[in-house]
Amino acid sequence: MFAIPGILGILFFIYLRPQEAYAPLQGVPFLYLFFALILFGAAVDLRLRVTKAIAIPGLPWAAALLVWCLITVAINKPEQLVDSAIHLFITIAIFVLIAQSVQSFRIFEKVSVMLIALGLLLTTFAVHQSVAPKECVIAPRGAGNHNETGKPTGRPCDVPRTCFADAQDPTDDFMCERVGVLGTHSISNRVRYRGVLQDPNELAVALSSSLALLLGMWMRSRSRRWALVSFIGILLAAWAIKATGSRSGQLGFLGVLVAFLFWRYRWKIAVFLVPLAVPVLALVAAGGGDRDDAADSSLERYEAWSAGIDMFRGSPVWGVGFGQFNDYHFLTAHNTLILALAELGIVGAFLFSMLVWIAIKTPLLAVRRYRGHPEARVAEVWGVALLASMVAILSGALFLSFAYHYILWIFMGLAGGYYICIKNHDPEFSVRITVIDAAAVLIVDLFLFVVFSVFLRLKGV
């Protein structure tokens, strides 16, 4: 219980990044402060026996991944070992601490409500930004892509060339974008936020994964209040995700809805969904058709995939080293598996994929075990919500470098906490990781590698 304020604080910091909007906060190391607060709270909880140390299924795999990542850095770029160790330790520690601190469904729901609130707030910001008037934005100097936030000038514009007319500094480069709250702005007319959510696709993933928890809260409470909030949330999320221009985000959004419909209606829903699958997928695929950068974006993504595959072929065991992809290619991998294969080799990619599989298998086993048992409805509902959130995240992971992204590790930590919640009520519940699991994950990784390789060859990349 004493660790929860730190967890809520670090979630607020990761999602909203207030220090990027207010200069006086920029010197405050919020990440480390909240991390220390979580550690202190977790120690107090253990000392007072509010919580107890329970090994989660993903813990040994996370430890192995941490060690392997550091090995790849030590081999490929030893001078970056300390910085890499700090980044990795914090990422994996957040995963472990969330799992160890969420040991009851009451606490699980408090953390879920925080993620829901952050998701709704970001959804509102995105909708506002999508209808905001366009302004001249000074592009960040030295930025090779759109991953930086520019400086809005307050001058209205219709096209970028309008901004150059009255430029105070002739060396400034300008964009003409929609400017939202806290100095945020769109990029190529695609809404986005800042920090770890400055990419429109990453913002779409965050909104969809939070929406899954919102629907879970509605199913859990069955109250009119949560029904109304969920209905509004679905409408606003659909608007916001469409405004991001993220095709993977739209697939994730649809995946969340389908997950809940399938849970409620089982195979009956297939009668309605299968005939709609082709036109819906075609519509989503055309979602970027009105983007000026859609064709260039796809080509750059294919080139990044090709570069990542070449890195893996050049070093299939060690990879090029954790965090080193951009030393070999100017863009990130734009695919989570290719990023893991390129940087960590087959061993690291396998360890990472096992962690993802455990986060899926845990709620999947729980939903199957407790379906139709009213006394265990809380476990069933939240299991479905976690599965739906993983659908949203994995839809984005197909086109994003999400292997070390905080959002993924937060939800994997939440899945670990969910395991402990169930274990405290049902000691016989277990998630066994068998040789069959490991073999299946490895085969899937290699199969996807072959699929991407063949696809790129057909594309001539």
Domain boundaries, the chain: 4-131+192-459, 133-179
Give me the residue label for tokens 């072929």. Answer: 313
What's residue 47's pLDDT?
83
Task: Tell me what the mean pLDDT of segment 179-184 comes to.
Answer: 90
Task: Tell me what the mean pLDDT of segment 193-208 comes to.
Answer: 93
- pLDDT of 137-158, one tens digit each? 988 765 444 556 788 988 899 8
State the Cα angle at 251 between 249 and 256, rounded to 5°: 95
Q: Which residues contact 296 (CB under 8 A, 6 or more apart)?
A: none
User: Is residue 282 predicted with pLDDT exceeding 60?
Assistant: no
> Which one-letter amino acid corresponds to residue 190?
R
Give the distance from CA 385 to its chain's centroid: 15
First-to-last C-alpha distance (Å) of the chain: 53
d(CA 288, CA 294): 6
- pLDDT of 303-315, one tens digit each? 999 999 999 999 9
State the Cα angle at 81 between 78 and 87, rounded to 5°: 155
Reference 433, options 51, 55, 98; nearest CA is 55
- pLDDT of 56-77, one tens digit each? 999 999 999 999 999 999 999 9
